[in-house]
Chains A and B, each alone.
Chain A
Amino acid sequence: DAKTTQPNSMESNEEEPVHLPCNHSTISGTDYIHWYRQLPSQGPEYVIHGLTSNVNNRMASLAIAEDRKSSTLILHRATLRDAAVYYCIPTGGTSYGKLTFGQGTILTVHP
């Protein structure tokens, strides 16, 4: 499984953009990059995923580096409800679709 490196924690102010980085230098060529978030005492929630090109959905944008060794999750306008642990997970390919969770990034959003 590809190893990932994410900051332990990040802080943001409400209504400001947030850029959550993730390094996955050992990613395989067929792995998709998935992002999930988890609120306390809840199951994780899917945020976004992509393979090579940048992706957008109603929740966030995903910017993938050209060499695919890193990616950035972008929350365009953080709200208090975005405060969660964010996990970046390369999967598919050699991991056969299994999700291996790292420690993630704890995002704190200040009002």
Chain B
Amino acid sequence: GAVVSQHPSWVICKSGTSVKIECRSLDFQATTMFWYRQFPKQSLMLMATSNEGSKATYEQGVEKDKFLINHASLTLSTLTVTSAHPEDSSFYICSARLRVNYGYTFGSGTRLTVV
């Protein structure tokens, strides 16, 4: 149980375009999902907390107008990287958990390359 599916697993886009990444909880409902970014040879960095039916909470230094998060249902959160630039190239990962004080389940990640 507690499976999180992330799509796509990789994407290449041109500079200036937007890319949408989907994160789905397959067998449970997730009122809260988390989005992380990971650069090569670095650890995961929390970008934002996605809340179903309300605005996302962004970590300090993360541009909310650039990284748009939508959590319109209890099983789907999306991250849209708008006007992508090469420096946005990274590994994006989402996570959620079945209930409070349980362990977190992570998606398999999305490798974004902006050319």
Contact = CB atoms under 8 A, between A and B. Distances in A.
Interface of A: 32, 34, 36, 38, 41-46, 48-49, 87, 92, 97-104
Q: Which of the four size classes fits the interface of chain B?
A: 20 to 34
26 contacts: A34-B103, A34-B104, A41-B91, A41-B109, A42-B108, A43-B93, A43-B95, A43-B106, A43-B107, A43-B108, A44-B44, A44-B95, A46-B104, A46-B106, A48-B103, A87-B43, A92-B101, A97-B32, A97-B97, A97-B100, A99-B34, A101-B36, A101-B43, A101-B45, A102-B43, A103-B43
Given A43-B93, A43-B106, A101 B101 contact: no
A62 B91 CA distance: 29
Taking chain B's interface residues, is the majority helix, strand, or loop, or is none over half, making it mixed?
strand
Interface string B79-106: 0000000000001010101001101111
A27 to B, nearest CB: 15
Given A32-B101, A42-B108, A43-B107, A98 B34 contact: yes
